[in-house]
Structure 1
Amino acid sequence: MALDLVDYEHKAREAVRAFWKNREAARRKQIDSGKTDQGERAGVTAGKNMDGFLALMLDIIRANGLAQAETYQNREMLTLPGYFRPTKLWDLLVIYKGELIAAIELKSQVGPSFGNNFNNRTEEAIGTAHDLWTAFREGAFGKQPRPFVGWLMMVEDAPESRRPVRDFSPHFPVFGEFKGASYLKRYDLLCQRLVQEQLYTTATVVTAERSAAGSGDFTSLSSMASLKTFVTALAGHVAATAARLE
């Protein structure tokens, strides 16, 4: 049976439009209330910016054979046990017949402070995955096949994120591919390596300019870390799980 990708490009454009519109609505609401957060946090605190991508993931799951699976999106039901810490909060969990089918993390970053935020996101992504797989090895989820573990990052396409970045490493050289690489390129390399090292089933970075609030246009930087690769991998995992458990 062919995988159903649920017209993901159209739905991704809707998600990008919603991302920027929700950020702007949150910012305006805080301005009107007189309680504006500093900098870009004014557009973050609504907590709904990535809901369009969440809806896309749910459509993929339902269309490929697990319409009856338990899908959790509410904060109080999104924790999984860890190994180095008691629990970890995810953005989407899928459970079916007592098995953890998928755990997905959705993140975003807009300018201007790409440098510190990139490092923080990198450390979070690596630590989260290492914690989950160690807990999995130690039987935290019972005896079951490896779940799908996904990481999707939405990054603003802006002059600051496209600009070449210099690094200082006085003792040993930086890997060549990072030399002069922009933050967008670094996110793409991060996603590729998260998958190569089997920390995530798949990881992707989606980029879009603020003007995409109207068009919904977005870009993937490489085929390995593209949105198409992400949704295809998720659809394939869901279909295989449905065939195994039905």
Structure 2
Amino acid sequence: MPAQEWYLEYEIQKNRPGLLGDISSLLGMLSINIITINGVDDSRRGLLLKCSSNEQILRLESILKTMDHIRVTKLREPKLRDRLAVRHGRYIQRDADDKKTFRFVRDELGLLVDFMAELFKKEGHKLIGIRGMPRVGKTESIVASSVCANKRWLFVSSTLLKQTIRSQLIADEYSVDNVFIIDGIVSSRRGSERHMQLVREIMRLSATKVVEHPDIFIQNSEYTMDDFDYIIELRNGADEEIKYDDVEEPQLFDSAGFSEFDF
């Protein structure tokens, strides 16, 4: 049986010297390897483990339940959020009611970039919406994530540096390996019919599409929030309200072909 990875997370009930050493020794006696270990908040630790049989994990779980100093909170096959929690030492905040919504603040840009890069690496259709006030770092995070995922990014519409909008692509730009970036305000409020037809063509591609300001985008197009696979919220601070009352509609540079943002 090939080795399998597991995620163990426990909450420290009573901290004492040597606690982590005891758990590490226990894992060693059960022939379970530790891949990565990190604190995921002030009182919890997360470990990525690897072992060759489920029986080892069942024995581990049984023994850990007898330990008074810790409480096991997770023991499962690792999810993306688990891997990132161990890597960055903190959990991605997820909306309790809407499971596809993930929240970040500007201090967590490294975690956000890592999270989106992992999404970009997955093959097939993905529609990702990203909410946030102007200049909070939305576009920069998308570009950085594309670089981390070794993907080419294409601005279909944008207000970065020079405001621009595309009405057509050339043949190789339709590659499913590209990340297509759409400014929802620009496309839905200022886009011509030729531009919106291009957006529809891109939406049908089995590729990653990222829409900034998805709420405005769905108000002025045929798409709905149900079409989105992930919604990301990025704020300057945890208490910041994302609103569009003060967002000005820019004057756009119409481009039938290339723009300076097509890298």
TM-score band w.r.t. shorter chain: under 0.3
Report which structure shows greater RCO (CA 8 Å, sep ≥6). 1
Q: Which has the larger radius of gyration?
A: 2
More helix by share: 1
TM-score normalized by structure 2?
0.26
